[in-house]
Amino acid sequence: MQFKKQIPNIITLLNLFCGCIATILAVQGALELAALFVVLGIGFDFFDGFAARILNVQSELGLQLDSLADMVTSGLVPGVVMYQLLTKVFGYPYRFVSEESEYITYSEFVLKDFGIVYLPLLGLLVTLASAYRLAKFNVDTRQTTSFIGLPTPANALLILSLPLILQFQTEVWISDIILNQWFLIGLTLISCYLLNAEIPLFALKFKTWGFAENKVRYIFLLISLVLLLILHFTAIPFVILLYVLISIIFKEKSTL
């Protein structure tokens, strides 16, 4: 019986483990591999709740552990990835040449002129906004069957899709957009806003399989599948946008 209660927690810890690996990879600049482990972590994040419901072993411990794991996988990693993308745009400080030697160390450069390197730190606003969103979720009794604000896993997929698009999509104009400093800064701010906005969003949890009660979910999944088949990784930002728009549209219709 005790082991049965721990099964969801073990799955949650696998989410955290994937997040730790993704963090290391993101810091090292292996953003595509980091994205892979974030996707694995989000998969475990889905199945821990599913396992808890199937086994009927939901607990306050599981809720808190789930948020801590999400903070790493879906909070820290996308912040580091955004930092790395902004660093690609603004340059790597330790590559600057000094008069005394061919290269100066990172710490020396920061001490000499911190103003050159602080802009990429804006990417970590994603991590701060994710932490605030997760803390609100834990105390918000309104978010039992739906979400208010973009869930951190969806936001992580939005951010982590960028290095995948850069790696696997060959269109130059797409790379030019993604590696534009104003696009990255704007996306960072939009991401922070969506995480904590008072926007009701539907959850992808099916209590039954009937079409009438799950119409919004089926429509979203069908359109998302078509977009992914056509646009591949480039579809991910559009899928997240579609998620927000469909939630708003059907919410407005239901209140008319």
Dist. CA 39–CA 81, nearest whole Å: 14
Provide the b/e sequence for 30-68 (b: ≥16 CB within 10 Å). Answer: bbebbbbbbbbbbebbebbbebbeeeebeeeebeebbbb
pTM for the predicted model, two decimal places: 0.85
Dist. CA 153–CA 40, nearest whole Å: 11
Query: Who wins on pLDDT, 106 or 124?
Result: 124
Mean pLDDT of the residues in the chain: 85
Decide if pLDDT at 124 tops 70: yes
- Domain covering 2-198, topology: Four Helix Bundle (Hemerythrin (Met), subunit A) (1.20.120)
φ/ψ of 20, rounded to 5, equals: -65, -45
- Cα dihedral sign for 223, 78, 64, 16? positive
- CA distance readout (Å), 201 to 120, 132, 133, 166, 204: 30, 18, 14, 29, 10
Boundaries of every domain in the chain: 2-198, 200-256
pLDDT tens readout for residues 144-196 = 677 899 999 999 999 999 999 999 987 889 999 999 999 999 999 999 999 99
- CA distance readout (Å), 243 to 204, 221, 250: 10, 9, 11
> What six digits make up the tokens of 37?
């482990």
pLDDT tens readout for residues 183-213 = 999 999 999 999 999 999 988 876 667 777 7
Least confident of 74-78, 127-131, 137-141, 178-182: 137-141
